[in-house]
Amino acid sequence: WGFTLSDGFDVNDSNGVGPVLRRDGAGALLRSEEFSNDQRSGGHALRMNYASPFLGGLIDLTARYGVNDYENLTLQTSPTVRRESRYQEEGSSGEFGAVFTRPLGSRLTSETRFIHEFSDNNGVSLSRTTLSGVGSPEQGFASDSKASETILRSLVRFEQSANLTWESGGEVAYNMLETDQAFSVGGIPVPLPSASVKVEETRGELFGKGAWRIRDNFSVESGLRLEGSTISQSGDAESEKTFTFIKPRLLATWTPGAANQFRVRFEREVGQLDFNAFAASAELQNENVLGGNIDLEPEQRWISELAYERRFWGDGDVSVTLRHDEITDAIDVIPLEEGLSVTGNIGDGTLDRLAVYVQAPLGR
C-alpha cells in the first residue's frame, strides 16, 4: 500500500517586468510599452497505490484525485496606454489505473492495462484597454469544460529465444471533451464557431512487433500498427469522421564498439488530435480569439532518422541525430472571417532537424 497527500503552489519564472515592442511587417514600431506579469497557482491531491499477487500473476492499482486553481494578471502600460488582462481558473482531475501481468508459460507473458482519466475546469478571462484616457469595451471569455479518457490495452509477449522476442496485442480507447464557452464585448455576446460542443472519439488498434538481436553488436526491431478511429461532434456543429491508418516501424542498432553506436529509424507517426481545437478559445492577453474547427484531421508523418552516439570519460555522452519528416495534413493556425482564427490543416510539408546533445562529467 502507498499513500501520498500533497499540498503545493507553483512559482512561475515568467513573472516580472520588461518592455513590449510590436512592429509591422516592414519593421515600423507600432507599440512601445512596459510589461508586468503575475501568475499564481496551486493545488491539493491524494494518490493511493496497491500491489498484490492476483490470480497467478501480479496486479498493480493506482488512484489519484486533486483540485487546482490558477490566477494571472498581465499589464501593459505607457504614458497614454493601459492594457489589463486577467484570467482565473479552478478545476479538478483524477485517474484510476490497473495493470495485471501474468506468466502463461516459461516463455509467454500477458499484460493487461486499464486507465481512466477525467478533469473538470472552469475559467474566466477579462481584458480592458484604455488609450489616451478613453476606455474600450471590456472583453470577456468564459469556459466550462469536462474531459475524460479511457483506455484498455492487452498484449502477449513471447520470448522465442534469448535473442528473439515477439509482442502482439490490441487497444481500445474512448476520449471525450464537452465544453461550453461564451465571448462578449461590452457585455454583448459575440457568436463564435463551435462555442458549445461535445467531441467524442472511439479508437481501436491492433499491433505486433519483433525484436531480433542478430549479433551481439547488431539488433533490429520492426513492428506494424493498424489504427481505426471515429470522431464525432455534436452541439453547435454536427460532424462525424472515420480514419484508418497503417503505421509501420523499423529500428536498426549497430554498436561497433563499447563507446560507439549507430541507429537508423524509419516510422510512420499519426498525431493525436487536441480536442480543444474543435471548440472556441481565447487568448485575450494577445488579442487572439480562436474559433472551433469541425474539419480538423490528424497530422501524419513519415520519419527517417539517423543517429550516432559516442560515450567518453565514463558517463560522458555525445549524440548527433539527423531527422527528416514528410508531413501530411500539417496542423497550424488558419484565418477566418471577421478577424478570427482557428487551428486547422494547412497542407503538406517537410521538416529537417539536426540535434546535437552533449553530456560531460565534471569530475575531472
Q: Which amino acid is at 221?
A: E
Average pLDDT over residues 322-340: 85
pLDDT band at 278 (very low <50, low <70, confident <90, very high): low
pLDDT of residue 339: 64
Q: Which of 114-118, 241-245, 287-291, 342-346 has the highest mean pLDDT?
A: 114-118
Q: State the chain's mean pLDDT as an integer.
A: 90
Q: Residue 181: pLDDT band by 50, 70, 90 thresholds?
A: confident
Quick one: DSSP state of residue 5?
E
Give the residue from 194, 188, 187, 178 showing the smallest Cα distance to 281.
194
Q: What was the pLDDT predicted at 290?
A: 61
pLDDT at 285 over 60: no
**Grid cell of 343 as nine digits:** 487551428
Residues 6+ apart with CB under 8 A from 121: 89, 90, 91, 143, 144, 145
pLDDT confidence of 136, banded at 50, 70, 90?
A: confident
Percent helix, strand, coil in the chain, to 5, is: 5, 80, 20
Given a contact cutoff of 8 angstroms between Cβ atoms, the answer to whether 353 and 323 are in contact is yes
Worst-scoring range by mean pLDDT, 165-169, 182-186, 357-361? 182-186
Mean pLDDT of 67-79: 93
* Higher per-residue confidence, 14 vs 357: 357
d(CA 238, CA 255) in angstroms, rounded, equals: 54
pTM, rounded to two decimals: 0.77
Least confident of 47-51, 59-63, 217-221, 341-345: 341-345
How confident is the model at residue 99, as a pLDDT?
97
Least confident range of 25-29, 31-35, 277-281, 322-326: 277-281
